[in-house]
């Protein structure tokens, strides 16, 4: 088989010319980052409503923070919300003040965090390869630009990053802080020229280390101690492996760094504890941190191999290259890595980053797919460097790993395509939209997506046969972009139309029809999006008898409201024992109905409902 691993001559010459025009090169790089960032995170961002259950909790807590002016204690629906620290609420509230209270503003912090990571991945990979070329006294601009561009694109265009980069929750903001702090550490570490024999030492760490510490503090303000614990574990493990403890202690000034971290994060914690005391300490540190790591919380348990599946699917379609990318690091060859210059250790550091986060959350008892989101940039760097070695063409073992990964790519994409084409045989049922899966099947979107992946599998197989291996990742990137545009996003619109749109429409009707002092009660389910879209407090009642008792209690008050509104599934009203003449339908949308119950028509006594 004839191997053609180098970049084609015309492409190589184009990048050589581009390298001679730095301003144009920077402009094109920025345009590339904006393009992939917009496709992944910005396109149609505000055209899909808030997704129950979690996103509206953040959105409404941030709205209440802006409305009440209380920037210390988060509230949702009149109750304190200590699930997460304040940074995400501050960011969303500021976005509201600038853009208004809408879906764009809710999700803007996640979008900016995601695009920030994508840009920093590009810069770190490009910088490391530039340093490598300088050490080897060669110039390979095509390899530098293409590898950095591919690493950035894989960071953005994967299911995990897109899913969390498009919702207004704290996960992407944490990933932005954590991943950026790790990248800043590496840039600070690698920017020190080990050939410099100067004895002068600054009392302060370099600018990249300072940025690393600031971002760790921001991570603590986003999701708690994990913001420093995880980056700390990864950095310490990396430094111990290289045997540079004393050197890095002098260089990083960790005690000064800890002061920076505390200066960023402690003030809010001190204020919220001062105001709420043990209520905050028990809820946040006890329940949402210690218990999540040591016990199953909210039923979020999973088998030990859970994150193997999450990473495999969440980093689709590039995940098949991860085993080869990690294998080529050869952690057991410590002397090899010790002989490398710092700038040549990006792959090693990305390996510690990936394994550190993967291992930490595998040990944790509570498991959620979003927990491993911060390792996705490391995965993209690892695969991009594996691909880059094919351009360099000096590592025979790396070539074999890449070829075998390519054939695994063909098998995986073929299986994925077949599954999507036959999705109707494995689909389930959503109680909030009973006909949703049938409508998705009838739309033909899963089959269309399956065809996209089968076509990609055929193209990748053909490239492997003719030896054009350098195009494999590009086909995956293009295939994912096409799949996202023609199949995934239209499916998301369909889900929103049948699952969330009815609640938004009923919220608008309730807001327009409400009377003074009229209560809005939701029975049988809890959809926080209604609280955000009605911008009012909702009384959530689970059981029909509980709702009926509540209505009867309203009739016994000395100063009783004339009526109340009830939002529930239509079958719930009969279970509540309400007679047709005791309420009025305001509207029915999808599976839900909104009614008004005039309290003067409710009989004083009703039979209990079994």
Write out pLDDT tens, residues 483-537: 999 999 999 999 999 889 999 999 999 999 988 888 999 998 889 999 999 999 9
**Helix axis angle, 141-156 to 22-37, nearest 10°:** 20
First to last CA, the chain: 75
Q: Are residues 383 and 403 in the same domain?
A: no
Q: Give the per-residue pLDDT at 591.
A: 85
In a domain, 431, yes or no: yes
In a domain, 266, yes or no: yes
Q: What are phi and psi of 565, to 5 degrees?
A: -105, 140
DSSP summary character for residue 578:
-
Rounded Cα gap, residues 281 and 275, in angstroms: 11
Tell which residue, 418, 441, 443, has the closest CA to residue 429. 441
Domain count, the chain: 3
Rounded Cα gap, residues 374 and 577, in angstroms: 50
CA angle 477-480-484, nearest 5°?
140
Q: Give the per-residue pLDDT at 605.
A: 43
DSSP summary character for residue 50:
P
**Per-residue confidence at 42, pLDDT binned at 50, 70, 90?**
very high
CA count, 13 A, side-chain hemisphere, 354: 24
Q: Are residues 303 and 340 in the same domain?
A: yes
**End residue of a domain, out of 335, 358, 389:** 389
- Mean pLDDT calculated for residue range 215-238: 95
Q: 27 forms bridges with which residues in the sheet?
A: none
**Per-residue confidence at 271, pLDDT binned at 50, 70, 90?**
very high
Most confident residue range from 286-295, 395-404, 508-517: 508-517
At 489, list the tokens.
């996003």
Q: Give the per-residue pLDDT at 533.
A: 95
DSSP summary character for residue 486:
I
Q: What DSSP line would sit under 539-553, residue for residue?
A: EEE-SHHHHHHHHHH
**End residue of a domain, out of 502, 532, 554:** 502
Please give the residue that has the higher pLDDT: either 404 or 433: 404
* Whether pLDDT at 34 is above 90: yes
- Spatial strand order of the sheet with 592-598 comes to 539-541, 519-523, 563-569, 592-598, 584-589
At 343, list the tokens.
């700038």
Q: Give the per-residue pLDDT at 610.
A: 38
Could you check whether the bond before residue 53 is cis, i.e. omega within 30 degrees of 0?
yes
Q: Give the per-residue pLDDT at 241.
A: 96
**Per-residue confidence at 394, pLDDT binned at 50, 70, 90?**
low
- Mean pLDDT calculated for residue range 365-386: 93
In a domain, 383, yes or no: yes
**Per-residue confidence at 601, pLDDT binned at 50, 70, 90?**
low
Q: Are residues 497 and 526 in the same domain?
A: no
CB contact set of 2 (below 8 Å; sequence gap of 6+): 467
Rounded Cα gap, residues 378 and 384, in angstroms: 10
At 244, list the tokens.
């540079």
In terms of phi and psi (left: phi > 0; alpha: psi -120 to 50; beta: otherwise), the region of 95 is alpha
Q: Are residues 357 and 248 in the same domain?
A: yes
Query: What SS3 class is residue 587?
Result: strand
In a domain, 1, yes or no: no
**Per-residue confidence at 289, pLDDT binned at 50, 70, 90?**
low
Could you check whether the bond before residue 317 is cis, i.e. omega within 30 degrees of 0?
yes
Tens digits of residue pLDDT in 554-574: 777 767 778 899 999 888 887
Tens digits of residue pLDDT in 123-176: 999 999 999 888 887 878 888 999 999 999 999 999 999 999 999 999 999 999
Q: Are residues 404 and 363 in the same domain?
A: no
Q: Are residues 326 and 424 in the same domain?
A: no
Q: Are residues 455 and 577 in the same domain?
A: no
**Per-residue confidence at 399, pLDDT binned at 50, 70, 90?**
confident
* Whether pLDDT at 293 is above 60: no
In terms of phi and psi (left: phi > 0; alpha: psi -120 to 50; beta: otherwise), the region of 576 is alpha
Q: Give the per-residue pLDDT at 548.
A: 83
**Per-residue confidence at 288, pLDDT binned at 50, 70, 90?**
low
Query: What SS3 class is residue 227?
Result: helix
**Per-residue confidence at 297, pLDDT binned at 50, 70, 90?**
low
Q: Are residues 382 and 411 in the same domain?
A: no
**Per-residue confidence at 280, pLDDT binned at 50, 70, 90?**
confident
Percent of the chain with pLDDT over 70: 90
Q: Give the per-residue pLDDT at 30.
A: 95
Domain that holds residue 494: 396-502
* Whether pLDDT at 423 is above 90: no
Q: What DSSP line would sit under 273-311, residue for residue?
A: HHHHTHHHIIIIIIIIIIIHHHS--TT----TTHHHHHH
In a domain, 607, yes or no: no
Please give the residue that has the higher pLDDT: either 86 or 552: 86
**Per-residue confidence at 1, pLDDT binned at 50, 70, 90?**
very low
Query: What SS3 class is residue 596?
Result: strand
Q: What is the pTM of this model?
A: 0.92
Q: How many CB atoms lie within 10 A of CB 207?
A: 12
At 416, list the tokens.
């994925």
Q: Are residues 147 and 254 in the same domain?
A: yes
Q: Give the per-residue pLDDT at 197.
A: 44
Tens digits of residue pLDDT in 89-138: 999 999 999 999 999 999 999 999 999 999 999 999 999 999 988 888 78
In a domain, 376, yes or no: yes
* Whether pLDDT at 608 is above 50: no
Query: What SS3 class is residue 69?
Result: coil
* Whether pLDDT at 378 is above 90: yes
Q: Give the per-residue pLDDT at 428.
A: 60
| pLDDT, averaged across the chain | 88
Please tell me the total number of residues recorded for the chain in this structure: 610
Q: Give the per-residue pLDDT at 269.
A: 94
* Whether pLDDT at 349 is above 80: yes
In a domain, 145, yes or no: yes
At 2, list the tokens.
């004839």
Q: Are residues 293 and 385 in the same domain?
A: yes
Rounded Cα gap, residues 83 and 85, in angstroms: 7
Q: Would strands 592-598 and 584-589 be described as parallel, antiparallel, or unpaired?
A: antiparallel
Q: Give the per-residue pLDDT at 291.
A: 58
Query: What SS3 class is residue 419?
Result: helix
- Mean pLDDT calculated for residue range 424-442: 72
Q: Give the per-residue pLDDT at 292.
A: 57
In a domain, 520, yes or no: yes
Please give the residue that has the higher pLDDT: either 525 or 356: 356
Q: Give the per-residue pLDDT at 582.
A: 80
Cβ distance 589 to 506 under 8 Å?
yes
Q: Are residues 480 and 531 in the same domain?
A: no
**End residue of a domain, out of 463, 480, 502:** 502
At 375, list the tokens.
């390792």
Please give the residue that has the higher pLDDT: either 198 or 56: 56
Q: 79 forms bridges with which residues in the sheet?
A: 76
Q: Are residues 408 and 273 in the same domain?
A: no
- Mean pLDDT calculated for residue range 321-348: 92
- Mean pLDDT calculated for residue range 416-442: 77
Tens digits of residue pLDDT in 458-482: 999 999 998 888 889 999 999 999 9
């Amino acid at each position: 088989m004839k191997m053609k691993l180098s970049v084609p001559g015309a492409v190589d010459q184009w990048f050589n010319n581009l390298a001679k025009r730095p301003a144009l090169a920077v402009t094109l790089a920025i345009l590339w980052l904006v393009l992939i960032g917009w496709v992944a995170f910005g396109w149609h961002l505000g055209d899909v409503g808030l997704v129950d259950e979690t996103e509206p909790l953040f959105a409404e807590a941030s709205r209440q923070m802006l409305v009440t002016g209380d920037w210390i204690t988060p509230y949702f629906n009149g109750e304190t919300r200590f699930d997460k620290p304040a940074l995400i609420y501050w960011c969303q509230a500021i976005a509201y003040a600038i853009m208004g209270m809408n879906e764009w503003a809710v999700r803007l912090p996640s979008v900016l965090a995601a695009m920030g990571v994508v840009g920093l991945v590009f810069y770190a990979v490009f910088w490391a390869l530039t340093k490598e070329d300088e050490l080897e006294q060669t110039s390979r601009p095509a390899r530098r630009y293409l590898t950095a561009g591919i690493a950035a694109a894989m960071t953005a265009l994967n299911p995990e990053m897109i899913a969390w980069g498009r919702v207004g929750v704290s996960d992407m903001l944490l990933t932005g802080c954590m991943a950026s702090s790790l990248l800043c550490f590496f840039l600070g570490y690698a920017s020190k020229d080990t050939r410099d024999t100067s004895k002068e030492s600054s009392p302060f760490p370099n600018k990249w280390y300072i940025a690393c510490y600031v971002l760790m503090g921001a991570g603590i303000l986003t999701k708690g101690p994990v913001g420093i614990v995880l980056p700390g574990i990864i950095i310490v493990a990396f430094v111990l492996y290289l045997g540079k403890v004393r050197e890095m202690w002098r260089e990083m000034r960790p005690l000064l760094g800890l002061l920076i971290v505390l200066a960023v994060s402690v003030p809010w914690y001190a204020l919220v504890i001062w105001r709420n005391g043990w209520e905050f300490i028990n809820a946040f540190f006890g329940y949402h941190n210690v218990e999540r790591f040591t016990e199953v919380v909210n039923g979020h348990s999973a088998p030990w191999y859970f994150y193997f599946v999450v990473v495999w699917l969440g980093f689709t379609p590039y995940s098949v290259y991860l085993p080869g990318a990690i294998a080529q690091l050869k952690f057991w060859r410590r002397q090899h890595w010790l002989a490398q210059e710092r700038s040549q250790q990006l792959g090693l550091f990305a390996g510690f980053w990936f394994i550190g986060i993967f291992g930490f959350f595998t040990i944790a008892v509570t498991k959620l797919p979003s927990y491993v989101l911060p390792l996705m940039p490391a995965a993209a760097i690892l695969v991009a460097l594996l691909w880059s070695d094919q351009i360099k063409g000096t590592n025979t073992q790396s070539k074999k790993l890449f070829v075998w990964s390519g054939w695994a790519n063909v098998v995986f994409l073929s299986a994925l395509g077949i599954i999507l084409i036959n999705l109707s045989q494995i689909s389930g049922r959503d109680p909030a939209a009973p006909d949703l899966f049938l409508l998705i099947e009838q739309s033909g979107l899963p089959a269309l997506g399956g065809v996209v992946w089968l076509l990609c599998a055929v193209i990748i197989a053909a490239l492997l046969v003719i030896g054009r291996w350098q195009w494999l990742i590009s086909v995956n990137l293009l295939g994912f972009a096409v799949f996202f545009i023609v199949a995934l996003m239209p499916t998301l619109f369909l889900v929103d139309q049948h699952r969330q749109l009815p609640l938004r429409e009923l919220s608008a009707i309730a807001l327009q029809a409400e009377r003074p002092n009229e209560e809005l009660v939701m029975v049988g389910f809890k959809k926080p999006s209604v609280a955000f879209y009605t911008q009012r407090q909702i009384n959530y009642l689970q059981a029909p008898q509980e709702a009926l008792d509540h209505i009867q209690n309203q009739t016994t008050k000395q100063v009783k409201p004339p009526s109340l509104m009830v939002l529930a599934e239509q079958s719930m009203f009969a279970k509540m024992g309400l007679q047709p003449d005791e309420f009025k339908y305001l509207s029915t949308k999808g599976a839900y109905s909104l009614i008004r119950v005039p309290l003067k028509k409710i009989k004083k006594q009703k039979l209990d409902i079994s």
